[in-house]
Chain A
Amino acid sequence: MIASLVFLSSGLFLGWSLGANDASNVFGSAVGSRMLRFSTAAVLCSLFVILGAVTAGGAASGGLGELGAVNAIAGSFTTALAAGVTMTWMTRAGLPASTSQAVVGAVVGWNWFSGSITDLSQLSRIAFAWVASPLLAALLAAGLHRLLVAAIRRGRPHLLSLDANLRLGLILAGMFGSYSLGANNIGNVMGVFVNASPFAELTIAGGLHLSGEQQLFLLGAIAIAVGVATYSRRVMLTVGGSLMTLSPVAALVVVLANALVLFVFSSPQLSALAVALGLPPIPLIPVSSSQAVIGAVLGIGLLQGGRGVRQIRWGVLARIASGWITTPLIAALVAFVLLFVVQNVFGQQVFRPVAYQLSPPALVRLAEERLPSERLAMDLQPVVGSVRFRAWLRRQVRLDPAQEAQVLRIAETRPLTIDARGLEALERTSLPAPYREAVAGLEGRSFLHPWQLAEALASRSPLWAPAPDAPRAEAARRAARLALVLDTFSRSPPDRSAQNRGAQNRGAGPVPPTSLRSPGAEG
């Protein structure tokens, strides 16, 4: 566990950095104008960041996971470290950079290094969100400013009442902004650790369940809170002061627009609503809170017409836009180099190779799912790495991306046998007894593909059966329990020489993958 925490340190550093810098985007104006004591702002911000991260952080983090599921904790450490190094270097060099973009670049770097597929459609959705978030913030800020000004003109409140309401509004908007920041940006901090999480499901007295992912997010949110408490004061006073030059009403609008943008890009309910309205789904991924703030200020500036347009420093905007490209590229490169160093110099396993094989049961399953199995040859040897398997697959048959993802999911191998030793080990895990009993019922059976185990367990007990309309959290818990069983019964971890051979040679061999999902295979 201590080793795991050491590996989490780079993510915790990213969390600290986020707390130190981005808390000013939500409470900067309230603290900068001294209408709220820093200690009160820090407590409120920390509390709501933790609440947002633990209760609603999964969606945006999952969006990042669809780009690449880093499946070894040393790899997660190195990926987060690469993002942190890129951010530090770019900030020192005076280049505009955002943690969201650095993390995405680092994940692509991991995909590149591990031979995993980078889902280009997901990457384009992420790039769309980067561009859309400041634009959406500008639109929201312009609309909210108009509405608020009209309401004030209509109500004609006394200056003191207006001031009191603005102060209360800034505090409430700051709390909402902190919640949204936690929900959206926790993916930046802990997203790359989700698939290699060292935490098992935990039940606290009172029946409160905390999944491994939620515990990871709680830890990341605490790191953010530490960043808020230790270093955000100076940033708040600086940024808060500059925001207040806008006018108190505009400052409130900026905080609110930023909070709404972060919320939009982390709410599955809003995304589902968009789909129900016939619109494309909203990509749920971490976006830059600082860039949303800049967009909101821009939106209010543009309301002033020609005068506002003249005041905009277009050069700064161009530099931000250039950061959308340069930051991920640099982060990907840094991640690749660091992964190479950590693997080959420090001898750490930075990824667990995922093997794919079109075994007879896999071919049957493909036929059941109406995929063109007849055009696929049986594969006697597993192919390590999703990129190599996809290349092999494409030589056999042309499929659309969704079909390709389906074939990858079905072909993914994870050979295991349910034996007494594994059942003993399972006793020591946090898996509840009714779930363990279902596993014990499969004693003596062997499985090649994870979906085979999932189906066998579902047939043994309804507890393991997937419910189509189950909430996302329940589905995630079920997936985490299945991953726990897979981890427990997988053959002994591959020795390092085999690992390195796999990495360098990408040779075929029965190397058991750890991840239930193949990286980048979904979406």
Chain B
Amino acid sequence: MSSPLLFGKTHFLEAQIDEFLDKVSEGGIYFQRGMELLLDRGVVPETELKLDQLIQLKERANELRRAVVNTLYSEMLIPDFRGDVLRLLSHLYGLLDATKNVFQELLIEYAAAFEGLETGADVRELVAVVDQSMQAAVRGARAFFRQPEAVRDHINHIRVYESEADAITLRLKKGLFGSALPLESKLLARDALAVIDGLADRAEEISDELSILAIKRVLE
């Protein structure tokens, strides 16, 4: 039953969801900044600071997600919407978690992958496109809550960025295997590129989810 506090609680929840989306968006920015530091200066304290920031972001986002889901299930939302919101938040949290994991792997396992690589600018371009796909996913999620008709545009952006990421990765791999680098460096760099590109794929998964959710929400 709705209580007199219904609308106050609604606004509080809206603020929590907005903060959660901010955290996912910030995750993309920290990832991009961290990658630039990694490519420019290698694993230095500033680069590790970005990983710490990503870890803190993920923890806060997790807290927010749990709080939102608990409140939604205990006293808010029509069941159809409740399930949709939970799924969307879970996907976005998964993207943020993957971003942190990818950056962590790059620092620990693939720190040497970009050493001696002549195409550093192309890697930066790939990271920028991946970040764009993440930002488009966040914008799409915001639109789902306020303007479902606009979700379609954001979905399209995510798909374009994902294709661009694939194209840049392919170009980088061709350049990589055409170079005189030792095979183990080529394989290490290939795997590093694959995990970065994987983030755009995850953003595309969110676009698929969003397209279904938006259809359900579009008012006919």
Contacts and interface: CB of A to CB of B under 8 A. Distances in A.
Nearest to B148: A159
B2 A159 contact: no
A171 B220 contact: no
Contacts of B10: 158, 160-161, 163-164
Interface string B69-92: 000000011111100010000000
A168 B144 CA distance: 22
Contacts, number: 65
A159 B79 contact: no
B219 A244 contact: no
Contacts of B147: 156
A159 B13 CA distance: 11
Contacts of A37: 1
Contacts of A244: 78, 80
B76 A160 contact: yes
Contact of A168 (B6, B76, B77, B85): B6
A164 B6 contact: yes
B40 interface: no
A166 interface: yes
Contact of B219 (A160, A171, A249): A249
Contacts of A35: 2, 78
A40 B1 contact: yes
A131 B80 CA distance: 35
A40 B2 CA distance: 11
B125 to A, nearest CB: 35
A247 B149 CA distance: 16
Contacts of A167: 2, 6, 78
B145 A158 contact: yes
Interface string A141-158: 000000001001100111
A160 B7 CA distance: 9
A34 B2 CA distance: 11
A159 B85 CA distance: 9
Interface string A125-147: 00000000000000000000000
Interface string A398-434: 0000000000000000000000000000000000000
Interface in A64-122: none
Contacts of B76: 160, 163-164
A37 B13 CA distance: 22
Interface in B108-160: 144-147, 149
Contacts of A163: 10, 76-78, 81
A322 interface: no
Point out which of B6, B78, B144, B149 has the most chain A C-beta atoms below 10 A from its C-beta.
B78
Interface string A7-46: 0000000000000000000000000011111001000000
A149 B78 contact: no
B14 interface: yes
B217 interface: yes
Contacts of B217: 159
B14 A161 contact: yes
Contacts of B6: 164, 167-168
Contacts of A166: 78
B106 interface: no
A248 interface: yes
Contacts of B85: 159
Contacts of B1: 36-37, 40
List the 6 closest pairs (A to B, CB-CB), nearest first: A149-B219, A164-B10, A159-B145, A158-B14, A160-B10, A248-B78
Interface of B: 1-2, 6-7, 10-11, 13-14, 17, 76-81, 85, 144-147, 149, 217, 219-220
Interface of A: 33-37, 40, 149, 152-153, 156-161, 163-164, 166-168, 171, 244, 247-249, 303-304
Given A36-B1, A168-B6, A247-B220, 20 more contacts: A33-B79, A35-B78, A36-B2, A40-B1, A149-B219, A156-B146, A157-B146, A158-B145, A159-B81, A159-B85, A160-B13, A160-B77, A161-B10, A163-B10, A163-B76, A163-B77, A164-B2, A167-B2, A168-B2, A248-B81
